[in-house]
């Protein structure tokens, strides 16, 4: 795909070639001024629409198809004009160039009859089965063009000069046959495309049906006018051929223009701004564009704001009256004024996105966009929920430490200070001072235990394996720690070691307090780029689906933030096994 600037330059250049070729060729060909003006006016919308679509949707095939079709018309018309004005003194190379240019009228008919309606309205084939039909039509267009190029009488019955590229003798008859066969196959394929449009229109509903209906009617007018125009040309009445030729030239661009201006073809919106009636061409952003615009806001948003911005992005992107983002826990944020039932709901990660109605209804493209948007939105919803749980876990941990300090160490220090004050006032004896010393040592031990709960010093100094062994050595039940050599020899990032250490600590606390275990087994392994721990006990066990695991849920969020995970396997009377892992890199 070309860079945006290059795409715009190419689209503008192709539109200019079509417009200038049509205008100059019409003037050179002569004829009534009214006919010249009418032809130029009717030929103008096709390159204009092609430029608009290619400029606003450079990644979509349809705009470039319209521009290619318009260029065939413009270049062909200029070639005809040059051949009409040519005289005997013109050099042969110039006549050959004019003949080549005039011959591209054949691809113009093929592209406009077959491919412009076939790729309508989204720039894609209606189904995979049409690939064969597309190749047949392409081959027929090439055969028709070759016949027109090499057989003079078929180039144009209006030309006063013979075709400088014409073949003679039997070869001319072959070219005549190829030209006629190619045009017949193209026309037949176009009739099949018309039948397909009729069927698609009957199956469609809402705005899509109206879009297809306009194209169906336009193609019917175009194909219906061709036999009439051909009859007048063959019977020597070229002036009368203008009557069916004008609607043939304008019908398809008119249908596409109505689809753009009234039905937002390819999500290009056209409106009126202000009292001076300036036309405004806009388009609904793609998923990538929405996320690119939203990314800076999402990085700075708090978890509560994040859902609101996501809902607003969906509402703006689909141009619906309201949009809502709902989490699995029931949290729901709505952008816009919610009225009535949702028009469309799709799952998004651990939640869902719901959209209200839109003026004109939601199309198949809208549904496709929302489903594509649901993937990154689902990740954002999951991230918002994870961030909220991490914040709550951090707040709960802060309160736990505060409570332990207030209820434990703080009271011991207050009592120690009071004892020292009393000893100073009374001149305490040796026994009293010994008691105060023992009390100070106990307070120091409690402070160390509290610090170990925050981040044990052995974890910083000796690593994860030694910290787990030190933790299990203080258990009142039988315990065993097994670590493979590689996990014991290596050190890992602080956040990794800390997350696994506190996961083990929580699992051990649960085994002692709730499971009444008599033995605990801890394993530390490093395999396949994962550092994992497994804590198994022989306690009472429980039903994981019926018990809330608040402590482990906070740790699971902590592990998930590192790219890891946690799972618990247990059953009543069969003990409990907790497995946790975090990815590590060499």
Q: Are residues 470 and 500 in the same domain?
A: yes
Give tens-digit pLDDT for 250-293. Answer: 899 999 988 887 776 776 765 544 444 335 444 555 656 666 66
* Domain range for 297: 283-385
> Does residue 362 sit within a domain?
yes
Instruction: Identify the CATH number of the domain in which residue 500 sits.
Output: 3.30.565.10
Instruction: Identify the CATH number of the domain in which residue 447 sits.
Output: 1.10.287
Q: Is 513 exposed, middle or buried (0-12, 13-18, 19+ CB in 10 A)?
A: exposed
Residue with tokens 């405004």: 280
Give the three-class secondary structure for 316: helix
**Prediction pTM value:** 0.54
| Alpha-helix runs per DSSP H in 285-409 | 287-300, 303-318, 364-404
Instruction: Identify the CATH number of the domain in which residue 370 sits.
Output: 3.30.450.40
Q: Are residues 16 and 127 in the same domain?
A: yes
> Does residue 457 sit within a domain?
no
Q: Are residues 98 and 150 in the same domain?
A: yes
Sheet holding 576-583, edge to edge: 478-483, 519-527, 530-537, 576-583, 565-570
Q: Are residues 421 and 471 in the same domain?
A: no
Interatomic CA distance for residues 162 and 153, integer angstroms: 8
pLDDT at 278: 39
Interatomic CA distance for residues 145 and 105, integer angstroms: 8
Above 80 in pLDDT, residue 424? no
Q: Are residues 428 and 481 in the same domain?
A: no
Interatomic CA distance for residues 345 and 419, integer angstroms: 69
Give tens-digit pLDDT for 291-344. Answer: 666 566 555 555 556 677 778 878 877 778 888 888 776 778 888 888 888 888
Interatomic CA distance for residues 19 and 55, integer angstroms: 16
In this prediction, residues 75-82 reach a mean pLDDT of: 89
pLDDT at 274: 44
Interatomic CA distance for residues 263 and 255, integer angstroms: 11
Q: Are residues 225 and 92 in the same domain?
A: yes
Interatomic CA distance for residues 53 and 48, integer angstroms: 9
Q: Are residues 445 and 301 in the same domain?
A: no
| Alpha-helix runs per DSSP H in 122-169 | 130-150, 152-155
Question: Which of 280, 302, 335 is the last residue before a domain boundary?
Answer: 280
Hey, what are 411's tokens? 């009271």
pLDDT more than 90, % of the chain: 22
Question: Which of 222, 247, 280 is the last residue before a domain boundary?
Answer: 280
> Does residue 535 sit within a domain?
yes
> Does residue 409 sit within a domain?
yes
Q: Count of domains in the chain?
A: 4
Give tens-digit pLDDT for 474-529. Answer: 777 888 999 998 888 888 888 888 888 888 888 887 887 788 888 999 999 998 88
Average pLDDT across the chain, whole number: 79
Above 80 in pLDDT, residue 234? no
Give tens-digit pLDDT for 130-184. Answer: 999 999 999 999 999 988 888 754 444 445 556 777 777 788 788 888 888 998 9
Higher per-residue confidence, 533 vs 586? 533
pLDDT at 247: 84
Above 70 in pLDDT, residue 395? no
Interatomic CA distance for residues 38 and 23, integer angstroms: 11
Q: Return the H-helix or E-strand segment holding 355.
A: strand 351-355
pLDDT at 390: 61
Higher per-residue confidence, 296 vs 245? 245
Give tens-digit pLDDT for 564-574. Answer: 899 999 888 88
Please calculate the CA angle 344-345-346 and round it to the nearest 5 degrees. 125
Q: Are residues 146 and 53 in the same domain?
A: yes
Question: Which of 280, 315, 349 is the last residue before a domain boundary?
Answer: 280
pLDDT at 246: 84
Three-class HEC string of 272-296 = EECCCCEEEEEECCCHHHHHHHHHH
Q: Are residues 109 and 241 in the same domain?
A: yes
pLDDT at 154: 42
Residue with tokens 């876990």: 393
Give tens-digit pLDDT for 2-44. Answer: 676 788 899 999 999 999 999 999 888 877 777 788 888 889 9
Q: Are residues 270 and 153 in the same domain?
A: yes
Q: Are residues 321 and 344 in the same domain?
A: yes
Q: Are residues 365 and 420 in the same domain?
A: no
Interatomic CA distance for residues 558 and 498, integer angstroms: 10
pLDDT-based confidence at residue 107 (cuts at 50, 70, 90): very high
Task: Return phi, psi of residue 477, to 5°.
Answer: -125, 165
pLDDT at 156: 45
Give tens-digit pLDDT for 340-366. Answer: 888 888 887 677 888 888 766 677 767
> Does residue 397 sit within a domain?
yes
Higher per-residue confidence, 436 vs 227? 227
């Amino acid at each position: 795909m070309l860079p945006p600037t290059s795409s715009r330059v190419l689209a503008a250049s192709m539109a200019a070639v079509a417009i200038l070729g049509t205008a100059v060729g019409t003037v050179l060909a002569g004829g009534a001024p009214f006919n010249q003006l009418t032809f130029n006016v009717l030929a103008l919308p096709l390159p204009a629409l092609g430029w608009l679509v290619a400029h606003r949707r450079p990644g979509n095939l349809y705009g470039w198809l319209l521009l290619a079709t318009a260029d065939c018309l413009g270049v062909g018309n200029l070639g005809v004009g040059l051949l009409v004005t040519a005289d005997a003194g013109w050099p042969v190379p110039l006549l050959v160039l004019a003949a080549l240019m005039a011959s591209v009228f054949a691809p113009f008919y093929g592209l406009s009859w077959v491919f412009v309606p076939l790729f309508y309205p989204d720039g894609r084939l209606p189904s995979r089965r049409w690939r064969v039909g597309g190749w047949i039509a392409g081959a027929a267009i090439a055969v028709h063009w070759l016949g027109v190029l090499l057989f003079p009488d078929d180039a144009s019955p209006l030309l006063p000069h013979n075709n400088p590229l014409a073949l003679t003798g039997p070869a001319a008859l072959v070219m005549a046959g190829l030209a006629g066969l190619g045009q017949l196959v193209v026309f037949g394929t176009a009739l099949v495309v018309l039948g397909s449009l009729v069927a698609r229109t009957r199956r469609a509903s809402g705005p899509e049906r109206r879009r297809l209906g306009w194209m169906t009617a336009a193609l019917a007018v175009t194909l219906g006018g061709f036999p009439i125009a051909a009859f007048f040309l063959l019977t020597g009445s070229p002036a009368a051929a203008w009557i069916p030729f004008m609607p043939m030239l304008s019908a398809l661009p008119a249908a596409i223009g109505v689809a753009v201006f009234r039905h937002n073809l390819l999500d290009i919106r056209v409106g009126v701004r202000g009292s001076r009636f300036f036309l405004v061409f806009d388009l609904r952003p793609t998923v990538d564009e929405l996320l690119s615009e939203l990314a800076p806001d999402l990085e700075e948003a708090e978890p509560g704001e994040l859902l609101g911005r996501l809902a607003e992005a969906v509402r703006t992107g689909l141009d619906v009256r309201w949009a809502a983002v709902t989490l699995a826990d029931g949290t729901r944020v709505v952008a816009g004024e919610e009225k009535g039932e949702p028009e469309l709901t799709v799952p998004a990660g651990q939640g869902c996105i719901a959209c209200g109605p839109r003026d004109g209804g939601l199309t198949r493209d809208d549904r496709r966009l929302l489903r594509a948007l649901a993937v990154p939105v689902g990740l954002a919803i999951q991230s918002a929920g994870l961030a909220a749980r991490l914040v709550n876990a951090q707040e709960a941990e802060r309160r736990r430490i505060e409570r332990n300090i207030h209820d434990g160490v703080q009271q011991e220090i207050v009592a120690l200070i009071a004892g020292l004050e009393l000893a100073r006032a009374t001149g305490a004896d040796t026994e009293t001072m010994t008691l105060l010393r023992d009390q100070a040592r106990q307070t120091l031990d409690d402070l160390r235990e509290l610090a170990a709960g925050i981040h044990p010093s052995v974890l910083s100094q000796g690593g994860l394996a030694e910290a787990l062994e030190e933790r299990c050595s203080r258990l009142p039940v039988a315990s065993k720690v097994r670590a493979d050599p590689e996990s014991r020899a290596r050190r890992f990032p602080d956040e990794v070691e800390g997350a696994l250490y506190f996961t083990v600590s929580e699992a051990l606390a649960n085994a002692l307090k709730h499971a009444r275990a008599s033995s605990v087994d801890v394993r530390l392994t490093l395999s396949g780029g994962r550092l994992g721990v497994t804590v198994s006990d022989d306690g009472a066990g429980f039903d994981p689906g019926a018990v809330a695991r608040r402590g482990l849920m906070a740790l699971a969020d902590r592990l998930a933030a590192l790219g890891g995970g946690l799972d618990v396997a247990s059953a009543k009377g069969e003990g409990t096994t907790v497995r946790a892992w975090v990815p590590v890199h060499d």
